[in-house]
Chains A and B, each alone.
Chain A
Amino acid sequence: MSSNATATRDALPAVEQDRAEHAPYVRKSSGLVRDVPFLDMFLMNASSSNPVGIAVAYGIFFAMATFPRCNLLLAIVIALVLGVFVWVTFALVSATLPRVGGDYLYGSRLLHPIIGMGSNLATYVGSVLAAGTAAFFVASVAVGPAMTIIGVVTGNSWWVTAGTNVSTGWPAFAIAGGTLLVLSLLSLTGTKKVTRVMVWLYGIAFVAFGVSILILLFKTRAGFIHDVNAYTKSITGKGNAYQATIAAGAKGGLATGGGYSFKSTMGAVFVVLGYTMFAFWSSTYMAGEMKGSGRRSRQLGAMVGGGAFGGILVLISAAIYLHTAGYDFVAASSNGYYPVGVTPFLHFFASIAAGGGTVLAIVLGVAFIGWFPVALYAGNLNMVQRAPFAWAFDGLIPAKVAAVDRRTNTPVVSILLAFVLGLAAAAWACWSKSIFSLISTFTLLLFVPVIVTGLAAAVMPWFRPDIYRASPSDWKIAGIPVIVVTGLATVAVGILAFVLVGVFASNLGIKHVALTLVLPVIGFAIAAVYYYTARAVRRRSGVELDLVYKTIPPA
C-alpha cells in the first residue's frame, strides 16, 4: 500500500489560509486530525469550570456579606484584569506541556518534583474541600431555598419550614452525602453518563439563570420594590419589607451614604477572583486529550476568551441585579436583614419580580439547584478523581490507586477515595461555624498552583530553555518574553490573594490566620517528606524516581 504525500494544505490542522505561503506540507500519516473547533474549546472553558450562575448569585452574596461597603462592580473589573494575566500564563504553559496533570506537571517538570507535588497537594485538598462545600450547598443554597421559594409562592408554611430544616445539620449532610454518592456512582458507570447528566443540569440551570437576569433587566426599581413588598407581606404580614430591610441594614452600618470603601472593594476582589478566575482549570487538566491544545493561539483564545466571557457575564449580571434591586437592598439582604432566608437571594428575588407567576418562580428556584452538582463534579470532584493518574504514571503512588476498571473504564479506587474525602469535607461544611472561612481557605489553597505555575512560567526560559525554545511559549512582544511578564504577574496575583486573606481575615471569618496562611508551606513539607520516602521505597525495587524528572542530554 502506498503512502501518498498530500499537498492539500487547506485540509491540514496546522494551517490557516492566511499562512498559505509558509504552510507545511504534510504526508499521509496517522494522527492528523482536523482542529478542534475553536467554539468547542471556547465553550468548554467558558462552561466547564465556571458555573456562572453560582459566580453571580453566590459570589455577590458572599462579597456583600463579607465586604458590605465594597464597590462590587469595580471589584469584578479588577478581578477580570488580574485574571487575564493568569489565563494567559496558563494558556502558554498548557500549550507548552499539553498533557494531563495540570499544575503537578508544570511544577514538577519546570521547577522541582517536590514543588509540583506540593502545588498539586494544595490543589487536591482545595478541590476536596470545594467539593464538600459544593455538596453542602446543594442542601443549604439550592434545595433548602428552593423549598422555601415553593412555600413562599404557594403560601404553604410546611415548605418554608422544611426548607430551613434541610439547610443545616444532619439533613444537610444527608443531602450532601446523597449528592456525592449519586455523582460517584455515576462516575463509576463511566464518563459518558456523568457528562451527559452534567450537560443537562448545566443547560437547565443556565437557561433559568438567563431568564432570571432578563426578568431583573426588564423590571423597574419601583416594580421590584412593589413585588418584594407584596410577596413578603404574604409571609410576614408587613408590607414594607424592602424599606425595612434597607433601614435595618443601615442601622447595622451597611448604608453607602458615605460612599464605597476602597479597602472593602479590595477585599471583595479576593472573593470575586475565587469565582471568576479558575476558568483555566478544565483545559489544563484536559490538555493531554485535546488535539490542538499545543497551539498558543488556540489555548489563548479558549482560556482568555472563555474566562473573559464568563467574567463579563458575571459583570453584566451583577450590574443588572444591583441596578434593579438597589445596592443597599442587596447588601442588607446578603447580611441577613431580609426576613426570609433564601440565600443567595438573586434567583428568589428574580422569581418574585416575575410578577407573581407561581410556576415560573418554582421553576427558577428548582432549576437553580442544577448549578451545584455541576460545580461539585465538573469543577472539583472530577479533578480529585483524575489527579492520581499523573502521580501514578510517575510512580509516586501505587498504580492501583489510579487503576482503571476493565469493564467500565473508570478509576474505581480513585473515585471511591474522592467520595470518602468529599464526604468528610461535606461534614466539615455542614457543621462549620463559618462557611465563609472554609470557602476562603480552599480558595486560598487553589491560589497555590496559580503561584507555582506563574513561577514556573516566569523562569522557564532560563530553567528549561530546551522546552521553552521549542514551544509556543517562546513568544516576544517588543522583544520582551510574554511568558515572563505574565508569569510574574500571575505570581503577584497569587501573593495578592494571600495578602488579602491576611488583611481581611476577620471579614472572611478566619480565626486561625497564621495557620491558614502557612497551610501551603505545610503542604510542601508533606510533599517533601512523601517524595523522599517514596523515592527510598522505590529505589529498593530498582526504580529511581529522580529519573522521571530529569532530561536526557542529547547524544
Chain B
Amino acid sequence: MGLFGRQPKVAKNTRLFFATDIHGSEPCFRKFINAGNFYRCQHLILGGDITGKQIVPITRHPDGTYSSRLRDQRFDTVDEPELAEVKRLIRVGGDYPVVGSEDELAELRDPACLERRFRKIVYDSVVDWVTFADEFLSGTGQRVFVAPGNDDFFEIDRAFEGSSVVEFVEGKSLELGEGHSMITTGYSNPTPWNTERELPEDALEQRLEEMVSHVDDVENLVAVIHPPPFDSHLDYAPQLDGDLRIQFDGMGGVRMTPVGSTAVRSFIENHQPLLTLHGHVHEGGGRVAIGRTQCLNPGSEYAKGTLVGAIVTIAAGKVLSHQFVNG
C-alpha cells in the first residue's frame, strides 16, 4: 500500500455512503437522501440516532404575531409568512417546532403530556422522512438502510413498514451484493443518560454474536454498530462528573475519556469483519484498524445542518478506500 493507501483497481466493487447521528436535522436527512446521486454510491446507510432531542416552543400571541428563541437567535413579532422560516431554522438543528398560545404551550410542562407529545412528533417526522425518501428515490435502484440509535424511541421502528426504498435493518443480517453482507444494531452500551436502547455489555455482545451467527463469510462482512469499540479513539468524549459537567485538565484541555463498548471491541477482535461503521460519539470522528478490520466513525455536525459522512469503497475481502466528507 502506498502513502495514500493506493490500491490496484478492481472490476467489482461496492461504494457505500455512511452517515450517522443526524438527530432530527431536516437538511441532514435531505442531504443524506441525495448523497447517492451526489457521491455516486449504490448504498446509503444511516447509522442511528436519527431523531431530534428538543421541542422548541413558538408562542402565538393574541395580536397574531409569534415569538421564539433558538439558542442564540431570538425571534420577536414574527408574522405568518416569517413563521415558516423560523420553523425551517428550528428543523436545521434537528429540533421540533411546536406552535401554540402561552396556555397551550404550558401543557408541555406536564412531563406526561410532554412525553406523549414528543413521541408523536418524533414518529410523525420519521413517517414524513420515509414518505419523502420513497418519492425521491423510487426507481433509482439505490438501497437505503436505516438503523436506530440508542436515542431513538422504539415507536419509530414501525414508521419504516411498507417503505419501498428504506429498509429498517435493526438486528438483521442481509446481503449487500458482490459477496458482502451486513449486520446492524443501534443498541449501545450503558450511557450516563440511561437512554432508550441501551444494553449491558454482555447482552450487547450476545446480540452481536447472534447476528454474526447468520453470516457465512465474515471476511466480507460490514458491521454497522452504533457505539464504537472501546478505547479505539473513535470513542473519545469529554469526561463528565456525576452531575454531567465536563472535566478539564487545565490549560485549555478538556479531559477526554473512552466511552465505547468493550463488547463491540471484543466482537471486532474475535471475528475480524471487513469493515465496521460507527457513530454515537460525535467527537470521535476518524478511522482505526483493529487487526484487519477497518473501523470508521465519521462523527456528527448535525446541529448546523452539515451532513458528515464516509464514502467507502469495498471489494472482495478488502476496503479499497474511504473518505470523510462534510456535505
Contact = CB atoms under 8 A, between A and B. Distances in A.
Contacts of B57: 22-25
A5 B114 contact: yes
B106 to A, nearest CB: 10
A538 interface: yes
B55 A290 contact: no
Interface string A390-413: 000111001110001000010000
A44 interface: yes
Contacts of B311: 543, 547
A198 B248 CA distance: 13
Interface string A251-295: 000000000000000000000000000000011001011110011
B323 A544 contact: yes
Interface string B85-128: 00001001101000000000000111100110110000000000
Interface size range on B against A: 35 or more
B252 interface: yes
Nearest to B306: A467
Interface in B155-182: none
| Interface of B: prevailing SS | mixed
A26 B53 contact: yes
Given A96-B304, A297-B72, A552 B34 contact: yes
Given A27-B118, A29-B195, A554-B31, A195 B109 contact: no
A549 B326 CA distance: 6
B83 interface: no
Contacts of A544: 323
Contacts of B54: 14, 24-27
A554 B34 contact: yes
B251 A199 contact: yes
A190 B244 CA distance: 24
A286 B251 CA distance: 11
Given A553-B34, A554-B30, A378 B324 contact: no
B84 to A, nearest CB: 13
A184 interface: no
Interface string A523-554: 00000000000100110111110011111111
B6 interface: yes
Contact of B196 (A3, A404, A549): A3
Nearest to B327: A552
A22 B192 CA distance: 27
Nearest to A552: B327
A33 B244 contact: yes
B233 interface: yes
Contact of A466 (B39, B198, B305): B305
B251 A33 contact: no
A548 B53 contact: no
Contacts, number: 235
Contacts of A470: 27, 89, 92-93, 304-305
Interface in A1-42: 1-7, 14, 19, 21-34, 36-37, 40
B72 to A, nearest CB: 4
Contacts of B313: 542
Interface in A55-100: 95-97, 99
A31 B95 CA distance: 15
Contacts of B252: 44-45, 47-49, 282-283, 286, 378
B215 interface: no
Given A24-B57, A28-B195, A544-B323, A7 B285 contact: no
A199 B253 CA distance: 10
A30 B323 contact: no
Contacts of B68: 22
A477 interface: no
A550 to B, nearest CB: 7
Given A44-B252, A395-B323, A399-B287, A540 B6 contact: yes
Interface in B225-248: 233, 236, 238, 240, 243-246, 248
Given A48-B252, A289-B238, A467-B306, A543 B55 contact: no
A22 to B, nearest CB: 4
Interface in B1-31: 3-7, 9, 27, 30-31
Interface residues of A, number: 89
Contacts of A374: 251
B6 A541 contact: yes
A312 B218 CA distance: 63
Given A24-B95, A26-B54, A191 B306 contact: no
Given A202-B251, A378-B251, A398 B3 contact: yes
A109 interface: yes
A4 B251 contact: no
B240 A33 contact: yes
B324 A393 contact: yes
B98 to A, nearest CB: 8
Contacts of B198: 1
The residue among B287, B306, B311, B313 with the most chain A CB atoms within 10 A of its own CB is B306
B42 interface: no
A189 interface: no
6 contacts: A24-B57, A25-B54, A399-B5, A399-B287, A547-B323, A554-B27
Interface of B: 3-7, 9, 27, 30-31, 33-35, 38-39, 49, 53-57, 59, 67-69, 71-74, 89, 92-93, 95, 108-111, 114-115, 117-118, 132, 136, 150-151, 153, 188, 191-196, 198, 233, 236, 238, 240, 243-246, 248-256, 280, 282-283, 285-287, 301, 303-307, 311, 313, 320-321, 323-327
Given A26-B55, A32-B193, A541-B321, 5 more contacts: A4-B111, A22-B56, A22-B69, A40-B248, A554-B34
Q: 8 closest pairs, A vs B, by CB? A: A554-B30, A552-B327, A22-B69, A48-B252, A555-B34, A199-B250, A3-B196, A552-B31
